[in-house]
Amino acid sequence: MLEVLANRTYRHLFMAQVIALAGTGLLTVALGLLAYDLAGADAGVVLGTALAIKMVAYVGVAPVVGAFANQLPRRAFLVAMDLVRAAIALLLPFITEVWQIYVLIFLLQSASAAFTPTFQATIPDVLPDEKEYTRALSLSRLAYDLESLLSPALAAALLTVISFHWLFGGTVVGFLCSAALVLSVRLPQPAASERKGGVYDKTTQGLRIYLKTPRLRGLLALNLSVAAAGAMVIVNTVVIVRGVLGLPENDVALALGCFGGGSMVAALLLPKVLDRLEDRAVMLPAATLLGVVLLAFAAATWTGSINWVALLVTWVFLGIGYSAVQTPTGRLLRRSAQAEDRPALFAAQFALSHACWLLTYPLAGWLGRVVGIPMTLAVLGLVTLLGFILAARIWPTDDPEELVHAHPELPPDHPHLRQHHGRGHAHAFTIDDLHRRWPAKGAQGHEASTVSGRT
């Protein structure tokens, strides 16, 4: 897997990601302590509101920025967003009112919503080979998992010698280092899209490509599965460990570490698995695993007390399924759009996936408080399986790279027809200006042309 780091450009981008994630991890710890410093017993309400604001920023800002990201120099744009995030983080230690947290978090996460999809859309251009890109996706998943494990430990060590306000300084340093590493390499700049249309057309382009592509509609259903299972872990681990089992705080970290460890195991194994299996053959069984594990744990806890060891084992398997669904996502997005449309499509995935989290976070929290943990596990397990069922129905089993279609609406001398030798032809198919709809299954000739699209 590490051989992909021989590519200097990717190596610098990966280092930028790791350092920025470490800074973000310190921010998470410092923000919780700041909320407690300002709000005391209401700190949970403050953090919950900040989390909701984060998701709203992700859902609302990402598609708008994605529509115009390709019109700007990619490297300069990424560096600018890192500098904006660093400047906002620099202001956080000086906050004296709760409302100021909400304003700065919205601005910070808006910059992240601009940075992250553009960064993700850059990697396929840096690593055009699919095997290399697959390994990069696994490394990225490992980076997220390591951050969730190591950042709290780093924060705890730092807090023994400094006050929590200085943790924000680590966040600033992380974003500045990320900016420097991005600035140190030349990034490929796809040709700007020549698509006509106003702000609405450009803003919704990524969403329209996404929702007109069958495999991506299936991915949206899998996003719901991942969000349901992930919300159970993120929201209710502390409730189970501290409230139900009465265990100490460090056991919360141990349980979350089991989830992260399972995710890391899957990320390490996936490159070789994906070399042999199609994405659908990996992602759908993984979503099934998430739902079955949640329901099995619900059944085991329904009539008896929750077993600590069973919880740890369950969280490991949830981490495996979570990573196995999440990691191949970039491969689906890359093959589903032209290079100039990838920033918009990655932004659409960013927004839609976080919209699922915006639904499941409060659902997991409300159910856990009102109906108890066993029922919450059962409901979220059913939501997870619902996502799997929808994905299995929407995402065709036969999903070839090239599709046969025709263009009776184009003049005979149109460049597209000359390039592909006539009206009826096959090529790698994605939704774009010439292919506005997906071909009906088995359609040929004139019928296919009336619903043309592109894989």
pLDDT value at position 421?
64
pLDDT tens digits, one per residue of 204-217:
788 888 999 999 99
Domain termination residue (choose one: 398, 422, 440): 398
Domain membership flag for residue 271: yes
Domain shared by 151 and 229, yes or no? no
Residue 442: give the domain boundaries: 402-449
- When pLDDT is averaged across residues 415-430 and rounded to a whole number, the result is 67
- State yes or no: pLDDT of 444 exceeds 70: no
- When pLDDT is averaged across residues 118-124 and rounded to a whole number, the result is 88
- When pLDDT is averaged across residues 140-148 and rounded to a whole number, the result is 82
**What is residue 406's DSSP assignment?**
-
Domain shared by 389 and 407, yes or no? no
Domain shared by 153 and 255, yes or no? no
Domain shared by 370 and 437, yes or no? no
Higher pLDDT, 10 or 401: 10
pLDDT value at position 451?
34
pLDDT value at position 434?
66
pLDDT value at position 445?
38
pLDDT tens digits, one per residue of 273-282:
999 999 999 9
Higher pLDDT, 408 or 352: 352
pLDDT value at position 452?
35
CATH number at residue 18: 1.20.1250.20
Confidence of residue 352 (pLDDT cuts 50, 70, 90): very high
For 143, residues 6+ apart whose C-beta sits below 8 A from its C-beta are 14, 17, 18, 21
Domain shared by 381 and 424, yes or no? no
Q: How many domains does the chain divide into?
A: 3
Domain shared by 410 and 265, yes or no? no
Confidence of residue 253 (pLDDT cuts 50, 70, 90): confident
Domain membership flag for residue 48: yes
Query: In whole numbers, what is the pLDDT of the chain averaged over residues?
Result: 84
Domain membership flag for residue 199: no
Domain shared by 27 and 78, yes or no? yes
Least confident span in 145-154, 286-295, 300-309, 351-360: 145-154
Confidence of residue 192 (pLDDT cuts 50, 70, 90): low
Give 349: exposed, middle or buried? Use CB within 10 Å, 0-12, 13-18, 19+.
Answer: buried
Domain membership flag for residue 454: no
For 263, residues 6+ apart whose C-beta sits below 8 A from its C-beta are 141, 144, 145, 319, 320, 322, 323
- State yes or no: pLDDT of 84 exceeds 80: yes
Higher pLDDT, 326 or 193: 326
Domain termination residue (choose one: 186, 221, 243): 186
pLDDT value at position 296?
94
75, 402, 337: which is closest to 193 by C-alpha? 337
pLDDT value at position 32?
74
Domain shared by 130 and 11, yes or no? yes
For 108, residues 6+ apart whose C-beta sits below 8 A from its C-beta are 85, 88, 89
- When pLDDT is averaged across residues 164-182 and rounded to a whole number, the result is 92
